[in-house]
Structure 1
């Protein structure tokens, strides 16, 4: 599980880890929690759709396993122990979380570079990235962290693989 604030590189690094796991013969699958929770409106008691994401992940992982996948790589934000438990229940086992980190200035630069958001949405996402970055460090539910600042996707993926359960 690759967790971290918006702009840190979760999806990009996730795809590279997926490619490396494929090369290693580990029969991987990849899921992006943002896509699994892309629904509106969000209920008041689950504003980030963590329950929906976990339910969809359970279904997707079941289908991936039936198709022959044996390792699941997930990109998304895990903010607290409840969300971690939801993901463990969804996958039917332990989840290893790597928190990706980068300075707020770099997060803002990356978010601006994506050109997906504009105006108030862009400003809100940059502010959310900064707040979430601090929260994820303060309320750390990850197993390890990897910095992404000033590094290539290949370098970060290699670090994630070297420190995680990929042997």
Structure 2
């Protein structure tokens, strides 16, 4: 059975951008993919299990998983859009949470064997050496205020105390995606 059909049959596919192209890519060979986890606590929760299981199925089908931990975005405080703002955590606290998440994900994915062994990456590694000015110049120049304001998450955030770090987190996520 094609891996896409297996995932769909299990109810693990909600929508895709181009199903035909995705099916073709999965059938032709080793596809690299990622799933991301922001360290907002010392443990993953039940909602993380489905993406991890999808990663496991894809890895068993020969594809290469990247487990992305948002160490940088975890320090900034990814917006939760709840009534109360998340409190900022220390670097040591977030790093401890990153290590806990890495340990939990490693129980499901194979990080040791084969050409498609999983890799754990932390976006803190990409952001820790970039200056704020370089970030604005090299990443921020690609985003307009109008584009940011058109996003539903930003519109919803404006109904609350929406802070600049919450807005700039979107740029961090874009850079992370491209890295």
| TM-score over 0.5 (shorter chain) | no
Select the structure of larger CA radius of gyration: 2
TM range (shorter): 0.3 to 0.5
- Determine which structure has greater relative contact order: mean sequence separation of CA pairs < 8 Å that are 6+ residues apart, divided by chain length: 1
TM-score, normalised via structure 2 length: 0.34
TM-score, normalised via structure 1 length: 0.36
